[in-house]
Amino acid sequence: QVQLVESGGGLVQAGGSLRLSCAASGRTFSSYAAGWFRQAPGKEREFVALISGSSIYKNYADSVKGRFTISRVNAKNTVSLQMNSLNSADTAVYYCAAGLDAGVRYSDYVNGAMDYWGKGTLVTVSS
């Protein structure tokens, strides 16, 4: 069982930056791939970024490539999302998620088939 708690959301002006953090419980966090997803008002949840347990593999949605960076520190059981050059389209509730990083297809995780989810943190970008 993994529990995930997001933090770092808030209100930011367009063009600004925010850093989201996700704190995970458990001793074997390095065994889990982790990802960030978001859901804007009136829209379906969408993939943002994914990182493997070892940090070797990273994947980003086209809409955030070059602006967002996912990273993790397994010794601290944390996953972060650095968001730069924010615009109004980035306004959403951001969710941290995790799934075992063993014998899985990362494409399944990109599609949202993660095992554990946080409750989300709201990011609002004002124009």
Q: What pLDDT is stored for residue 104 in this prediction?
A: 83
Distance in angstroms (rounded) separating the CA atoms of residues 34 and 77: 11
Average pLDDT for residues 48-68, to the nearest whole number? 97
**Is the CB of residue 73 less than 8 Å from the CB of residue 102?**
no
CA nearest to 29, candidates 57, 69, 1, 65 = 1
| Collapsed DSSP state (helix, strand, coil) of residue 33 | strand
Tens of pLDDT, residues 15-27: 999 999 999 997 7
Distance in angstroms (rounded) separating the CA atoms of residues 20 and 14: 17
Tens of pLDDT, residues 22-49: 999 977 899 999 999 999 999 999 999 9
Residue 47: alpha-carbon gap to chain centroid: 8
Tell me which H or E stretch contains 107. helix 106-110
Q: What pLDDT is stored for residue 27 in this prediction?
A: 72
Q: What pLDDT is stored for residue 110 in this prediction?
A: 86
Average pLDDT for residues 7-16, to the nearest whole number? 98
